[in-house]
Amino acid sequence: MSELHKFLFEGLPVRGILLRLTDAWKEILQRRAQNAETGAYPQAVRQLLGEMTAGAVLMQANIRFEGALVLQIFGDGPLKLAVVEVQNDLSLRATAKVVGTLDETASLSQMVNQNNQGKCAITLDPLKRHPGQQPYQGVVPLFDDNKQPIDQFQKVIEHYMLQSEQLDTTLILAANDEVAAGLLIQRMPMQGQNNLSAHHVLRDEDAIGKNEDYRRISILASSLTREELLSLDANALLHRLFWQENVRRFEPQVEDTAPRFSCSCSRERVSQMIRGLGQEEAQSILQERDNIEVGCDFCGLQYSFDPIDTDQIFSIPAGLQPPSTDAIQ
């Protein structure tokens, strides 16, 4: 079962989260493999998408935010788009679009950043959006400050965290076909009662890379190998890394509160999408084939609308559609 463990280092401005996605991750891979149209993801994409999924869950778990966190990469290469969406209850879904063939061991650059055009976008979409309110979006390139392509996805997120939140973050991500896992270590913002005096307040930017406690713990965390991250359970892993530190652990998120796969697609939403095409476009599709077929990229469900269904979509005014979530497979 998937699990998430939060912890902090007693008395130090450093906190961490350890994540292991098992059932949730395997379900994403299985659904894709069973999709007759696409087939399974290529090996290199499975690993990247697993790391992205683990990274997105860690980021969502690390912030207090009522809404969805969407992590995307896109650019130039056979991997056109990879998307992970995590709700604030840690339900999640992920998908990737691949055009053409990919080497089994293709790097991040070969997949999506062949000419340094690749980007990573992090979107925070509030659950209750005010009228006119746009989701918050941050975009970072897939190259470093010296324009060198980044080939480890975890470095992309570290870069984003440093830029957007001004916080030192160490991230270790790994994925295989069974597990997508991650460890996040972060320096906490310089706030609170110890820093009330204006003379002693260090601005957060000034503290980047300078906190000795964070640096020590970050070096310990970075000694974790991918194999250890994928295979060790939480107790063994935290002991292996931090046995000399005073780690305080919180109630783990397991079973009911664990991260889990869930897709929010529905027949009603697909109807709205068809309505968005316009009646003329919908009719022209129906002149070429019997039904309008729409597949969900995230979960693989197929939605089918025959001419009568389609007429109905356009005969009822928008907003008055009867709710229906049954999917036709």
- Given candidates 171, 263, 294, 313, which one binds Zn ion under the rule CB under 5 A? 263
Query: Which residue in this structure is represented by tokens 């008055």?
Result: 320
| Closer of 150 and 265 to Zn ion (Cβ) | 265
| Closer of 84 and 184 to Zn ion (Cβ) | 84
Secondary structure (3-state) at 186? strand
CA–CA gap between residue 125 and residue 144 (Å, rounded) = 27
- Given candidates 298, 305, 310, 313, which one binds Zn ion under the rule CB under 5 A? 298
CB of 263 to Zn ion, least distance (A): 3
| Closer of 25 and 298 to Zn ion (Cβ) | 298
Q: Are 90 and 206 in contact (CB under 8 A)?
A: no
| Closer of 221 and 263 to Zn ion (Cβ) | 263
The stretch near Zn ion (CB under 5 A) out of 2-10, 56-64, 104-112, 257-265 is 257-265
The stretch near Zn ion (CB under 5 A) out of 53-61, 189-197, 259-267, 302-310 is 259-267
Window 35 to 64, contacts with Zn ion (CB under 5 A): none
The stretch near Zn ion (CB under 5 A) out of 144-152, 156-164, 221-229, 291-299 is 291-299
Question: Quick one: tokens of 115?
Answer: 């000419």
Q: Is the dihedral of CA 63, 67, 73, 74 positive or negative?
A: negative
Residue 132 — left, alpha, or beta (φ > 0 → left; ψ -120 to 50 → alpha)? left
Q: Are 135 and 124 in contact (CB under 8 A)?
A: yes
- CA distances 310 to 178, 320, 326, Å, are 41, 15, 16
Taking CB under 5 A as the rule, does residue 84 contact Zn ion?
A: no
Taking CB under 5 A as the rule, does residue 296 contact Zn ion?
A: yes
C-alpha angle 53/59/63, rounded to 5°? 150
Residues at the site binding Zn ion, with contacts judged by CB under 5 A:
263, 265, 296, 298-299
